[in-house]
């Protein structure tokens, strides 16, 4: 019974933590090759540099 209570407690803690999580910010990235722009939450690779941001969404 102690094990199932511990597992249940861990599950409740995980659900509560995920409910408080915020989305990752968006950044505008500029290509070093041709200057084109793209919007992404993560770096696009070594050929890109951050141009602007952070933004709350991709719009």
Structure tokens at 12: 């409740």
Q: Is the dihedral of CA 40, 49, 56, 11 positive or negative?
A: positive
What range defines the domain where residue 27 resides?
Answer: 23-59
Q: What tokens appear for 25 in the block?
A: 């910010």
Can you name the residues that pair with 57 across neighbouring β-strands?
none
51 found inside a domain: yes
Query: Cβ distance 28 to 51 under 8 Å?
Result: yes
Structural domain total, the chain: 1
Extract the tokens encoding 37.
Answer: 């722009």
In a domain, 58, yes or no: yes
Report yes or no on 56 lying in a domain.
yes
How does pLDDT run across 23-43, given as a tens digit for each residue?
Answer: 889 999 999 999 999 999 999
Residue 1 has pLDDT above 60, yes or no: no
pTM of this prediction? 0.61
């Amino acid at each position: 019974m102690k094990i199932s209570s511990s597992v249940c407690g861990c599950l409740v803690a995980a659900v509560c933590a995920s409910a408080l999580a915020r989305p990752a910010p968006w950044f505008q990235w500029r290509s070093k090759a041709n200057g084109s722009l793209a919007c992404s939450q993560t770096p696009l690779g070594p050929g890109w540099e951050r141009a602007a941001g952070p933004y709350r969404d991709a719009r």
